[in-house]
Amino acid sequence: MINVALERAYAPFFGEIKDQLRIAHIMSTSHDSVHNMDFGLSQDQRLTPGAQVVGRVASILRVLSVNMPRGIGTSAVARMTGLSRPTAHRLLGALGEQGFVDRDQFTGTWLLGPELYLMGSVAAERYDITELAREHVAALADETGESAFLSARRGGETICLLRQDGSFPIRSFVLYEGKRFPLGVASAGLAILSFLTEAAAERYITQAELEARYGPAHSSNALRERVTETREQGYAVNPGLIVKGSWGMGAAVFNRAGQPAWALSLTGIEPRFTVSRQRELGRLLLHHAHRLTKRLSSG
């Protein structure tokens, strides 16, 4: 059967090639449990001994990851994770003893450690799609002149994995490799959020509380409207909602289970994203997202 999410994402521009959108599994409510674990701790997880410590360690590692390669101080880690400074220092020290983080002896800043590099190299064999995606990111940059990206979903966030700048000399630097955004904020995250199951998307929107940090344009109701619009168009548009004048567009890339796990996106200045040009950029994004999805499903 045709994957419902894929069909909905690509139908506006690929209705004539539905037969090419057949992927192994169909998105259904049975996948809902997969999304449940992504947004916060469940009651069972909260009762699990050590779960709080694991959550704190994970938040520290994420903070370090977005501050590579310059590193970050203990006080800043504490502030960004919501931990007390003594707790952050104690956990950083324990992670350092195991090689998961490293400390620059000259500056005192913390960085990701060699053990994570080794583990990441092993995990990349299963999760890394950057080599497959690289040609699509490069083609998008070449065909549009804009900056093109590949982002991956990690729970309730997206993280940028690849950036390729196009020929147009004025660029947006809101998104760069290693940058994280909550789902629904940047165009990549909006594209992914829009093609989750309706139950999973609504659960996230209800719990995310993005308005306090990103402004009223990210209220629950505003986000629901953009999700609906994205589902209708097949691609997401971010009209300068993060930084005024910096626009973005994104299209979801699906894994073998039919879940939106990555996104291809474009960013640039507002005059380059006129209504008439958005349609052409949308076609290109959907074309490459569709091709990459097909390659991943047949690999």
Taking residue 33's Cβ as centre, other Cβ atoms within 10 Å add up to 9
Give the predicted TM-score (pTM) of the model. Answer: 0.66
Q: What is the pLDDT of residue 15?
A: 44
> At a CB cut-off of 8 Å and minimum separation 6, what does 137 contact?
148, 149, 150, 162, 163, 164, 264
Determine the angle formed by the axes of helices 187-194 and 220-233, rounding to 10 degrees. 80
Taking the C-alpha atoms of residue 165 and residue 247, their distance in angstroms, rounded to an integer, is 15
Low-confidence ranges of the chain (pLDDT < 50): 1-3, 13-45
Taking the C-alpha atoms of residue 228 and residue 225, their distance in angstroms, rounded to an integer, is 5
Q: Residue 142, CB half-sphere, CA atoms under 13 Å: how many?
A: 7
Q: What is the pLDDT of residue 172?
A: 77
> Which residues of the chain form beta strands (DSSP E)?
101-103, 110-112, 147-154, 157-164, 180-182, 236-238, 246-254, 260-269
Query: pLDDT, tens digit, for every residue of 98-152?
Result: 999 999 988 999 999 988 878 876 665 555 688 889 999 999 999 999 999 999 9
Q: What is the pLDDT of residue 257?
A: 83
Taking residue 20's Cβ as centre, other Cβ atoms within 10 Å add up to 12
